[in-house]
Amino acid sequence: MMRIVRAFVLVLLATLLTAAVPTRVAADEPDQPAIEGLERLTPEERTAAERQLDRWKQMSPAERDRVMGNYRRWQSMSPDERRAARENFRRFRRMPPEEKARVMRDFERWNELPEARRDELEQAYRRFQDLPPERRERILKRFHRLQSLPPAERERVMRNWQRLRNLPPEERQRLRDRWQRMTPAERRSARERWRNGGEP
């Protein structure tokens, strides 16, 4: 999901940057063109440029600062990064509507996160990418298995996982060691206890 969100961010950056940042905002003089080079555009391009200029004029100073920051970020990207962003945008456009809607919801949730949390997630994503392929595959399989559970069961698993995370490190290690020594029958029994909210 991080890859999709990151790709979508880059695509939106590219779209906003090429569409929302005017080369020069309209001068107060009526005989000056609103956008530099407007006379060289086709009628369709001119209409799109003027529409983007209107959007720019309606933005708050904070929105303009954000767009300009995105523009500078786009400008600092390597040609390969820009090419990847454009390809991700094409891929996004080919998605079915429900998948696009999901990506947009994820993107909105991502933007609502505090910057510290986004940094933390990006670091986790980089660590995930650095794992050996077979380890990444195992993690993804477990994640897909979790996602396929009924909501109540998924909630139970997440509560148990949180309980385990809250244990002191030495207690978690003790439980891992105990799990490794268990027979398959003992593991099944332990899973059943955990499902019923019992102690590991």
Residues 83-137 have pLDDT tens digits of 988 898 889 889 999 998 998 898 888 888 888 988 899 899 889 989 999 999 9
Count other C-beta atoms under 10 Å from residue 85's C-beta: 22
Q: What is 127-145 written as a DSSP string? A: HHHHS-HHHHHHHHHHHHH
On whether the pTM is more than 0.75, the answer is no
Q: What is the mean pLDDT of the chain?
A: 79
- Evaluate whether 5 touches 106 at the Cβ level (below 8 Å): yes
| Radius of gyration of the chain measured on its C-alpha atoms | 25
